[in-house]
Every structure is written in structure tokens, then in C-alpha cells.
Structure 1
């Protein structure tokens, strides 16, 4: 063993002084659903509930080995990188300055402060991450502090690759047929694929990326790094506008078809499913690899050994209503309609007679009176079987109830739901 794998092994050995290896657990529920032997690499069980602690620790370790006099480290993050950074600052007894956008939820600020204790100072700057990042760079230059990048650095990649080193040992000589990796900036994917490749292991790698932030897929399609013009921030742990430079160098040989784009609403259904069935709390990015299973034909999985990297479990339960809402919409169990509602006594009673025993009105709101005799009404309906909506549509048509289904209209839904 030499070069990169040797460095990963050294990083993993040093890391054991900080936290034990995370478990690789066979999941009977997912195995039964797919016909495969599904293993979950539980990175949500690190001290900071994500794999980000690995890269941060390795970066600090190597920086301090090169210059023991370093005293101040800097990062810009509103999520898992900040928490891993803070934990490592406390471990090494070094000062850390974390820059976060002013809009960062208080829960994330409090957790970062808790992990770093007296060693970390948090500065809230700007409404958007780009402003925050620029401020962090300026501070690092002025103060002589060392900037710790979230993913685009060789030492970060080497640290994240310790996930692969642990997986190899935990499989105890058995080869994984498929390894599914979530992708944001690409540090985890670059590290795991390089380590296993240089060890002579050749599983099929599949990358799970948010549909609203497809930076790796678009970059592979064009053969160069692509900065996204816009992105959906719902999967905040993996919504990155541009794949890392070093990360893409290590991933550019993969085909565009190796990336599975995960729809955000479908991802919510997976999060709710894992919470209700398995009792596992996942953040959106942490559920990406599990959700990507839904894109595999059963024949591709049957009898295979599949490893899914569960990247994080830092879920703010204040988001749960939104996650449940998105899940119901994806499953076709909840829809929103705008009706042209007659302004007469008994109209609502007449409408209610159209509903079946499993249908329930969960939202009723007058939007405006569009005419003297009619008004526009937003009605949300939830049901127990998606097929019930076909029956309802027929009843609406037969009764002359003019309406528009706005469930999938992102513009309208974003404004009024």
C-alpha cells in the first residue's frame, strides 16, 4: 500500500482518537424491498451527525504537523462543515472563527457553538452564503488565520476517504457490487472512489445528487466544471453551485449516466418513510443515497451487495411539516385546486357531497371575488389513496365545478400554498 491509500489509513488511525468508526449496518427493510443485501454506512452517527468531521480533522491534523504555531482557523458554513470544524477546534484547542449568513437558523448556530465551546467565535455576515464566504476569506487574509475549505482540498478529500477504508474493513473480505454516494461539493465521492479504485476494488459507483442542484451531472455532461445559474436549496447539505476543482479532477472519468438526480419531493417521502419505519432521522442530504434506490430496476439489484452512504442526520424538526407536505404531494395523496366558487347559500354544502369517505379538506381559503356571483377559492384535499383523485375529477366535471390543479405549478404553489 502506498500513496493515497496509505495516507487514508494514517488519517483513519489518527481519527480513532476523536471518535470510533461508524457502523456499517445491514438494513433488512430495504433489503426486503429491493431483493439486494443493503448496507447503510451510518455517517449520521459521528459526534456531529455527519461525515464532515473527517475532512476537517484531517485538514487540521496535517496543517498543524506542518506548522505547530498555527493558532487561528477560519471557515464559512451554515451547516455540517461548521459543526465538524467547531468540534475539531475544541479537540485541538485552537481558535476557530465561523462565518455564517445572518439568515442561518438559530438551531444551527447553537449547535456549532455547543461543539466548539469557548474555542469558537461565530460571526453572522450577509444574507447569502457568497457574502459570508467573501467575508471569511477577507478575515483570514487580514488575521493570518488558515481558511478550512468545505470540500475542495486534497486533505479534506483524504479525510472523507476514511469512510471507504472503514467500509472495506467492515465488509470483511466481501466485495460491494454497488456503492451509492451522495454528492454536493464532491469531497466524499472523490475520496471514496479514489481509495477503493487504488485498492483494486471495482464496485459500480452511483452518485446521488439533488435534482435542483445537478452540478456534477452537468459538469460530466460538458466535460468541464459548470457553475449552475440557479439552484434549489432544499437539500441544503448538498446544494452546491459548482463541484470542487480537485474533486472534479478525480471524478471526471465517470459517465454522466452514473449520476442519479433525486427529486426533492420524492426525497421527502424517503425521509418520512425512514423515520416512520426504521426510526432513523435523516437530513435531506443524508437520505439521497437511500432515495436513489428507487431509480434502479429490481433486476439490477437482486442478489447484489449494495452500500449506501448515509451522510448526515442534522435535521431541524421545525422543517418536518414542510417535509411531510412535500412527501404527500409526491405520493399523490395531497393536491391543491383553485375553484371558481359560486357565491350563493349552500354552495359549500353541495361541494362537500362530492368528497368520498377517505377525502378530507385540509385548506379552504378565498383568494378573491373574481365576479359578483363567483369567487376564486383555494382548496387543499388530502386522501388515503391517490386513485381517489380520478374519481373526484370526474365528479367536479359532472357537477360543472370549474377548477385548476396547481399542485405541480411551482410558481403558483410557491406564492399561495
Structure 2
């Protein structure tokens, strides 16, 4: 905890004129970073607003604060592996126990993936899921809430295995509504695939095409994944399906 409190020292040292940030966004896993940073500012008699950022699938701090005691989660989504813990640390919770549960923002894992891709493509910054928590949680603030405010979002790690990139992209596309999967009753006749392709829009791409089983002599169930550039294109695609009597 004391070692991670040096992050708060660096924040204070870099603030112009000895000012204090209005808001400090803290990613939370075991809680050591959050405990250290909050403890440092308390010792300095400085009082920024702290926002704790946890994965939605591992809200151990939020559940503990809401219950008034240390809670062990029965189930954890391990996608945000650097912050997905079933139980907040005992000593960190001792430092954090006086904060309200609503000081914790829960970050949806799929939205987090969209933030990771955005940071990579726009800023050229590689973040692991836990490292992107504080950045992503900023999306929960309205512009009015943060206008004119000095906000520090702690980006805690870039230890990202690029073998996970396809999964991150998949989650991001699905969160943004740019990729959907359909199970379609597909006719077994010449020209059926060509007829299906004609229903697609110019920005629609087939990302997956897999026969699940042949349910009848003339039909088979097909899993089709479709990516597009605008989520509204799926409304047009479904309208085409309905007009052509496609069962999905």
C-alpha cells in the first residue's frame, strides 16, 4: 500500500501551483493502489473526489462497501484478469471502508474492450483490460459534470497479450452493435447463397458462416456472423430478411 502511494506523490508533484485534482479515477483489483493513493492525500489533508473503477463482473469492493464487511464473491468474470478478484484485500478495505458504495463505478467488460481498441487506434496506447478501467469509467460522466474539472485517471498497466486482440475486437464490435450473429433456416438448393448475399447491404460483411446441423432434407440451420459499419444497417438487414421470409 505504501509503495503504491508513491503514485499519489507523483500526481501531487505534477499538479501546477500545488493544486489538488478535482477527481482521481482509481482502478481497483485487490485494492492496494486505491488504499495507498487515498491514504496519501488524507495524510496531506487534501481532499479530491475519488472514483473507484471495478469490472462489472468482479465488484468485490462495491459489494464489501455496500455490506459494511469484507465480501467474497461467489462468481467472478476473469476477463479483466488484472483486477478480477473475488475478495478485496483485508488491509486495503480497512483504509477504504468509510467510502460509500456509490463511489465505485462498475465498468462493463465489453465496453471496456471498445475503450481499449479506441486507445490503441486513436492514441497509440496499448492497455491491458485492468489498465483501461479508469479511462472507460469516464464515459459515465456527463460533460456538465466534468467541464472545467481537473481529472486524473490512473492507467495502471499495458501488459497486454496480443493473442487476446481478436477476442477484444469481437467484444468491442458486439458492444457497439456492429457485429451480430444469426441462426438462419437456410434452404438447400442451388442459388440459395447468392440470394442471401443479395439481401446484404454494401457495408455488411460475413465474418462467420457455419452449418450447425441439417434439420431437414431441404433446409439446414446456419450460424452467420455479420459485421457492418453502422449499427442501423442491421435494421435494414432484418427488414430484408422479413420481406424475403427468412426464418432467423
Aligned-partner Cα distance in 2 for 1:374–1:182 = 50
Question: Unaligned stretches of 5+ in structure 2?
Answer: none
* Structure 2 counterparts to residues 161-180 of structure 1, below 5 A: 161-172=5-16, 173-180=18-25
Q: Classify the secondary structure of the residue corresponding to 1:158.
A: coil
What residue in structure 1 maps to residue 240 of structure 2? 395
What residue in structure 1 maps to residue 76 of structure 2? 231
Cα deviation, 1:191-244, whole Å, max 9, x if unaligned, reads 101111221111110011001111011111111111011111110100101001
Aligned-partner Cα distance in 1 for 2:5–2:87 = 21
What residue in structure 2 maps to residue 263 of structure 1? 108
The counterpart of 1:380, out of the listed 217, 221, 225, is: 225
* Structure 2 counterparts to residues 312-327 of structure 1, below 5 A: 312-327=157-172
* Structure 2 counterparts to residues 15-414 of structure 1, below 5 A: 157-172=1-16, 173-403=18-248
Cα deviation, 1:369-397, whole Å, max 9, x if unaligned, reads 11222111000100011111111111111
What residue in structure 2 maps to residue 124 of structure 1? none
Q: Classify the secondary structure of the residue corresponding to 2:185.
A: strand
Aligned-partner Cα distance in 2 for 1:214–1:372 = 50
Superposition deviation, residue 179 in structure 1: 0.3
Cα RMSD after superposing both structures? 0.9
TM-score normalised by structure 2 residue count: 0.98
Aligned-partner Cα distance in 1 for 2:244–2:104 = 47
Cα deviation, 1:153-180, whole Å, max 9, x if unaligned, reads xxxx111111001110111312200000
Q: Which one has a bigger Cα radius of gyration?
A: 1
Aligned-partner Cα distance in 2 for 1:399–1:249 = 62
Q: Classify the secondary structure of the residue corresponding to 2:154.
A: strand
Question: Unaligned stretches of 5+ in structure 1?
Answer: 1-156, 404-417
Aligned-partner Cα distance in 1 for 2:42–2:187 = 67
Aligned-partner Cα distance in 1 for 2:242–2:47 = 56
Q: Classify the secondary structure of the residue corresponding to 1:206.
A: strand
Cα deviation, 1:324-344, whole Å, max 9, x if unaligned, reads 111111111111111111111
Cα deviation, 1:281-338, whole Å, max 9, x if unaligned, reads 1111000000001111111011100000000010111111111111111111111111
Q: Classify the secondary structure of the residue corresponding to 2:208.
A: strand
The runs of at least 4 consecutive aligned structure 1 residues that moved more than 4 Å come to none
